[in-house]
Amino acid sequence: MPGILAIDVGGTGLKAAVIDDKGDMLTDRARVPTPHPCPPKVFLEAITELVKPFPAFDRISVGFPGVVRNGCILTAPNLGTEDWSGFELAEALSKALGGHPARVINDAEMQGMAVITGKGLEFVLTLGTGAGTALFRDGDLMPHMELAHHPIHDDKTYDEYLGNAAYEAEGKKHWNHRVEKAIGLIYTLLHYDMLHIGGGNAKHIEFELPKNVTIASNEAGLEGGAGLWKKR
């Protein structure tokens, strides 16, 4: 039976794999650097080339770093919002990849679908090129909040305070202090039951995490693609 093509779009890398309905990998993960600049046409060409070696799939799931509504991109801060705003990504990917149905959500939301327990209030924070967020209540995805673009310290947003540019500029020790501060602020804001931290830079966390905070696997951004097709 054909699987689901899962695509995780990042500011530095495009990742893809074919997964089954439970989110288990049916192929190895494939990755290429994200082109820069990366307008929709260049993105579609890169993805089409990336998935050529994959076996058959009959659905497409995409985690995209920005605000997504009904398969349409509203913002793309790490790829260029001016190129992406209003772009019907689900429709374009379906057309480019054999006419298979496609669903697109925010990348932190897709990652969350692979790691949440489904109990209580759960928050997802991804640390990569920028900072992504998602909120779930009893397993249901809540309306998207672009917390990444809210101020956290002086005039810096979460993206600027926790993203990869901050990690490289401040060094691991100071960046860890920032992440620890952000965890405390998010808890004060939401009083979540669980916080799940993912993204490529989560591996750099060195301080002891609270008992209700977990580190997600690097594959969760793809594995969560199964959640887009679960019947409720």
Question: Would you state the pLDDT for residue 81?
Answer: 79
Number of domains composing the chain:
2
CATH number of the domain within which 60 lies: 3.30.420.40
pLDDT value, residue 141: 95
* pLDDT surpassing 70 at residue 176: yes
User: Per the structure block, which two tokens stand in for 107?
Assistant: 């990348």
Decide: 119 and 193 in contact? Cβ < 8 Å.
yes
Contacts for 13 with CB less than 8 Å, ≥ 6 apart: 31, 32, 33, 34, 200
Q: What's the average model confidence in pLDDT over 37-52?
A: 97
The tens digit of pLDDT for each residue in 56-79 reads 999 999 999 999 999 999 999 889
pLDDT of 204 strictly over 80 = yes
pLDDT at 145: 85
| 45 and 77 housed in the same domain | yes
Domain of residue 144 covers 114-221
Residues 18 and 105 in one domain: yes
Percent of the chain with pLDDT over 90: 92
Do 152 and 205 lie in a common domain? yes
User: Do 214 and 120 sit in the same domain of this protein?
Assistant: yes
The tens digit of pLDDT for each residue in 65-118 reads: 999 999 999 999 889 879 999 999 999 999 999 999 999 999 999 999 999 999
Residues 138 and 64 in one domain: no
Once rounded to an integer, what is the mean pLDDT over residues 180-190?
Answer: 97
Q: What is the pLDDT of residue 5?
A: 98
Consecutive H or E run containing 187: helix 164-190
Q: Looking at 138-201, which runs of residues are DSSP E strands?
A: 140-141, 151-153, 156-157, 194-198
Q: What pTM does this model have? A: 0.95
The beta strands (E) that lie in 56-178 are given as: 57-64, 68-69, 72-73, 87-88, 102-106, 121-127, 131-137, 140-141, 151-153, 156-157
Q: What is the structure's pLDDT at 146?
A: 85
* Residue 105 burial (C-beta neighbours within 10 Å; 0-12, 13-18, 19+): buried
By the 8 A CB rule, do 107 and 9 touch? Answer: yes
Q: In 3D, which of 113, 40, 44 has the Cα closest to residue 73? A: 40
Question: Is 18 strand, coil or helix?
Answer: strand
Q: pLDDT at residue 41 above 90?
A: yes
The pLDDT tens digits of the residues spanning 6-23 come to 999 999 999 999 999 999
In sequence order, the 6+-apart residues with CB closer than 8 A to the CB of 158 are 131, 133, 147, 148, 149, 150, 152, 182
Write down the mean pLDDT value for the chain.
Answer: 95
Residue 127 has pLDDT above 80, yes or no: yes
Q: Are residues 194 and 209 in the same domain?
A: yes
Dihedral sign for Cα 106, 107, 113, 119, please: negative
The residue assigned the tokens 């209003």 is 86
Q: Are residues 87 and 151 in the same domain?
A: no
> Based on the domain organization, do 7 and 105 belong to the same domain?
yes
3 state DSSP class of 55: coil
pLDDT exceeds cutoff 80 at 231: no
Could you tell me if 65 and 149 lie in one domain? no
Alpha helices in 34-163 (DSSP H): 40-50, 81-84, 89-96, 107-115, 158-162
- What percent of the chain stands above pLDDT 70? 100
Q: Residue 24: count other Cβ atoms within 10 Å of its Cβ.
A: 11
pLDDT value of position 232: 61
Cis before 37? omega within 30: yes
What is the rounded distance in angstroms from the CA atom of residue 10 to the CA atom of residue 176?
22
Do 103 and 16 lie in one domain? The reply is yes
Same domain, 163 and 208: yes
What is the model's pLDDT at position 78? 87
Q: 163 and 80, same structural domain?
A: no
